[in-house]
Amino acid sequence: MPTKNLTKADEIALLREFVVGLPEVSYLRSALEPFAVEFERDIYSDIVPSVHESWVARLEADAELREAQRKVREVNEEAEKARREAAVAHARLNKLIDLLREVKVSAEVAERSAERVASKLYSSL
């Protein structure tokens, strides 16, 4: 029986047909579907597809994703902490500004009082 040489397109069509032909709720289909696109890419690139290599790459990518998500959470937490600290500092600054206004008003009142006292003392001499 002569064997037919398959083209890349033939192999990809067989792969798609095989995966799609599996029952939708089967373990085998759910296990192979994520790799089918990678296998197609590998076939076009003249790379022999490897479930093991694809699985390891997927695990590494998942680990990198979790690490990136952890870093994003850390940065968000730091940003929230900085926002809260800035809000507290802003409130303190507003209180200081209010106190400075009160001190300025008190100083102006004290200055006018001192001028009146000085004027009375001067006129009584």
pLDDT at position 110 is: 93
Give, as one character, the DSSP assignment of residue 47: -
Give the model confidence (pLDDT) of 4-15 as tens digits: 788 889 988 998
pLDDT at position 51 is: 67
Give, as one character, the DSSP assignment of residue 58: H
Give the model confidence (pLDDT) of 77-102 as tens digits: 999 999 999 999 999 999 999 999 99
Sequence-separated contacts (24+) of 13-19 with Cβ below 8 Å: 15/39, 15/40, 15/43, 16/40
pLDDT at position 112 is: 92
∠ CA 100-105-110, rounded to 5°: 120
Domain with 3 in it = 1-49
1 pLDDT higher than 60: no
* Whether 43 and 78 share a structural domain: no
* Whether 55 and 20 share a structural domain: no
* Whether 40 and 55 share a structural domain: no
